[in-house]
Each structure stands twice: as C-alpha cells, then as structure tokens.
Chain A
Amino acid sequence: MAAKSKRDQMIDMAVLAPLDWVDERTGAVRGTKWFLFRNVPRDISWMQTLGSAALTAFIVQTVTGAILAMYYKPSSEIDPLTGKPIAYSSIEAITNEITLGWLVRGTHRWGASVFIILLFLHMGRVFLFGAYKYPRELQWITGVLILVMGMLMGFTGYLLPWDQTAYWATVVGINLNGTAPFAGPWLAQFLASGPEIGSDTLPKWYALHMLLIPGALIALIFVHIYLVTRLGVSSPPWSKEAAGRERTAVEPTGARAGLVRGSGGD
C-alpha cells in the first residue's frame, strides 16, 4: 500500500475516522449512502418533486412553529396589562413587537395552507400514476394518514390565536364532532375540556398541536420516506422507457435470440 501524504492522513484522522467510528456503531453512514446513492428511473419528471416540496413545507412549519412556541402563551386568562386574553396579547406581540415576528407567524400561517395544497397535489400525482399499487400499498396508507394528521394540525392550530375567528370556528368544529353517534358527545366534551370551551381548552389544544400530532406526523413521514427509498419511485406509466415495462417476447441482449432465453413456450 502506497504511503499516504501527510494531508491525506490528517483528513483521515479528522473526518473519516470519526465517521467510521459512528458508522460502526449506528450504520448511519451506510444509511445515508443508501438514501443518497440509489438509482431512480431515468424518466422521472418535475411532477415527482411534489412529495419533497410538501416535506419542505413541513420543515418550514416545524422551524417557525418552534420559534412561535418560544413567545406564544396558551392561556385564555385576561392579561391585566392589556385587558385582553393572554394568548391573544402574545399573538399581538409576536406580530407587532418582536423582530421579524410577523414573518415567522405569517410563514407559519400560510405555510400550513401551502402544506395542505402540496399534500393534495402529491396525492393526485400518485393517483394519476397508479403508484399506489403493488408493492407500494403501505406507502399510500401512510400518505393518507399524513394528510389526515395535516388537517388535524390545521384544525387545532386555528384556535390558538384566540380571536373571534378562531373561537367561533372551533365552537362549530367541536359541535360537529359532537354529532357523531356514540363517541361524539364524549369527543366534544374532551376537545372542549368541559361542556363549553373554557380556560382548560387552550392548553389542551396547544399540546395536541405542538406535541402529540406533530410527533405522530414526524413518525409517519419517516416511515413514508423509508418506504420510498426502499421501494423506489415509479416511472410515469405512459413512458416508453418506464422502469418495469412489459418485456417483449424476444429481447436480444447481445446474444442471439433463442440461444439464451430459449425459444420454447413461456
């Protein structure tokens, strides 16, 4: 083995050795390589970027959401300084006083709509391509669950500013849940934390919005991405060079037809 230059040795020491150490114990480097250095069909198009676009919107939501959580106060008590509910006052402060608070809040607010739109577009693309069929059934199911969770995020997040729009939309939302047979009244009672929306409601919805549902959502997204890496992206079904296209009866690949593949019945 040729002697390495001093520089190479140093790179080895500083970068590769720690990576090897981590990889030996976790498989993280192999995992990353497995994710990045895989092949995708050569005929994939811009339509197949909708999934990662939705992921980007979700990442925007987690980052802006974490920042908002540092300043938002989930309490419907009246703030003696402003004479308004504490939650509402904290939203006012985020929008008007905190540096670039308006941008963080605006991005979170509109990112939610963009996320939902991208989920619908992504689902439409998968449906059009028939990409939910074998072997990607569970891929589809996790996708539908992500959409449901995304809408629940919208439903729970809508209440948090504690303004009239938020309050009354949620009153109607909870009443609608209450119409369900059997579980309905119980569900409405749970969501409102009592017979009516009150001081216990806001912290509960806040916990749902920033702990429980996002936790489930992140877990589902990981499964979804693992599956797409494992199973692969499907080609547009109308493509002449689609991966997995029907094999013609005789397909000479260098060798003379019939010699290798046989000429008898299939």
Chain B
Amino acid sequence: MARDLGELNREEYANYKDDVKKEGKGFFPFAMWHDTVMSFVVVCVITALAAVWYFDADGTEPGLLGPWYTEPAEPGTTDFIPRPDWYFYFLFYLLRIFEWPETVFIATVGIPTLLLILLLGLPFYDRRRERRPLHRPVAMVAAVLTILSMAVLTWKGATAKEALGSELVLLVPTWAEEQGFADDPAAVTGAELFAQSGCMNCHVYLGEGNANLGAPDLSEIGRTNDAEYFVRYLTNPAAFGNNVMGSYSYLGQENLEALGAFLEASKGPSEDE
C-alpha cells in the first residue's frame, strides 16, 4: 500500500531524531562556540558602523554613513525630500509603477500583503519532502527572481533622482519658454510656487522632480482640465478621490489661482518650435 505524505514525513523525522542522537555532536560546546564567534563578529560590525558614522559626520553635516541628524522637524517646510530607511526603498520605488491615486494601493497594500501571505503560507503550499536545492527548481527560480527584483527596486529607490525647490525655481524661465506661457504673469507666478511648494517632491514636470512616489507627470496636465478645476482640486484633493495628496488650501486663494493658471498653461512642449 502506498504510504501517505504524513507517514513518510513522520518516518523521516524519526530517522532524523535517531541520527542526531547517535551521530550528532553536542550543541554545548560545539555549536555554541560557533554562535559565540559569530555574535562577536556581529557586535564588532555594529560598533564599527557606529564609529564610522559618528567620526565621519558632524552634526547635520553628512559623512560616509549620513549625518547625526538633519534639521529639526518643521511641518511648514515644503522642499524636503521624504526618504524612508533603506529596507523600505523597494516599497518606495514600487509606487512609481502604479497609477496615482487610483491603483496605488496595489503597491502600498496589495503587493506587500500578497508577499506576506505567500511567505507565511510557504510550508503549506510547498509540501514536497524534497529539500535539496537542485531538486527544487521552481522554489530556487522563484527565490532568485524575488531577490533580484528586491535588489533592483532597493537600488533604484536608493539612487532615485531628487531636486530641491531652490534649484527648481531656476528652471521656471525654461518651462515658460517650452510651454509658451512666458507672457502670462499669473502662470509664471504659479510656476514659481509649483517649484517651491514641494509639488515636485511627488510630481515630475518636464523631466524634473521626483518620479519616486508614482504621482502623475504634470507636463501636459493642462490638456485635461482648466484652471478653475485645478484650484478646486488643490483645495481638497480628497473630494476627487485622491486621499494621498494633502490639501494645499493653506497657500491662499490668490496663490492657488496662480497655480491653476500655470497648470492650465501646461499643455506640453509646443511641437512647432
């Protein structure tokens, strides 16, 4: 009679217990010695990292491993680029692959949840007794692909392009020329606000800005709606189903109208020039 998986598993484990009892070596001192050496190495590595971090940096001046701290938290600033710790980079970068905001929850919640379920469930859907890597091609290929994609996403997240409002504002004349709104003072004011109010921490405009967060490219946004719509949107993005972007009503009606004029004027680089 063919024996079922549970029976085979239990027999193999009984053999394991038997072998370990007869042929094994003591956890103390043999394995514990290895563990102790390894623990010592871990403590040394951590201490060395701390020392390099401390002695190479000075206050807010970054060294090889970054600064001791950046400036105090200031909710009013708008030109600071958000950046999580390195092990969230993959998630951070994943965001740009999805449409903002309609499908972005696939990246923020969908994929992490799916990964977690796949990880937790691993022993239950991979039920074969085979343990040798070369005899588990599917598992090995899946593992290599996972590691590769995580590595690529982490690396891309780490090297993603960033720009500061103070530098971006220098681009406004170029934008005005390319988009053809140089004669519209409201649009130019709006463009300056756009560069300095942190919009480009999330959005891309004519190839500049942060594509990292997956917010839409606004270079041609003027083709979709008019200034009045943009003002309403900026005042309360949540009313348009966008729960990710915060309200910019604190800028004041006058500034919002300038931003609206700028966005309406952004119809993409004129092709006939």
Contacts and interface: CB of A to CB of B under 8 A. Distances in A.
Interface string A83-105: 01100100110010000001101
A169 B53 CA distance: 20
A42 B24 CA distance: 5
Interface stretch (A3-11, A125-133, A205-213): A125-133
Contact of A76 (B12, B35, B38, B73): B73
Interface string B95-113: 1000001001100110000
A217 interface: no
Contacts of B143: 124, 127-128
Given A37-B28, A130-B136, A132-B123, A244 B19 contact: yes
Nearest to B100: A179
A256 interface: no
A110 B53 contact: yes
Nearest to A181: B105
A204 interface: no
Given A56-B43, A167-B75, A107 B85 contact: no
A38 to B, nearest CB: 5
A179 B109 contact: yes
Contact of A88 (B72, B92, B124): B72
Contacts of A163: 69-73
B19 A243 contact: yes
Given A56-B42, A57-B42, A241 B23 contact: yes
Nearest to B202: A172
A148 B205 CA distance: 36
Interface stretch (B44-52, B216-224, B260-268): B44-52
B270 interface: no
B79 to A, nearest CB: 10
B244 A134 contact: no
B144 to A, nearest CB: 11
Nearest to B109: A180
B38 A52 contact: yes
Interface in B210-267: 213, 243-244, 246
Contact of A37 (B21, B26, B41, B47): B26
B46 A92 contact: no
A232 to B, nearest CB: 6
Interface in B80-96: 80-88, 91-92, 95
Interface stretch (A13-21, A22-30, A113-121): A113-121
B116 interface: yes
Nearest to A130: B131
B265 to A, nearest CB: 29
B25 A53 contact: no
B244 A175 contact: yes
Contact of B120 (A113, A141, A244): A141
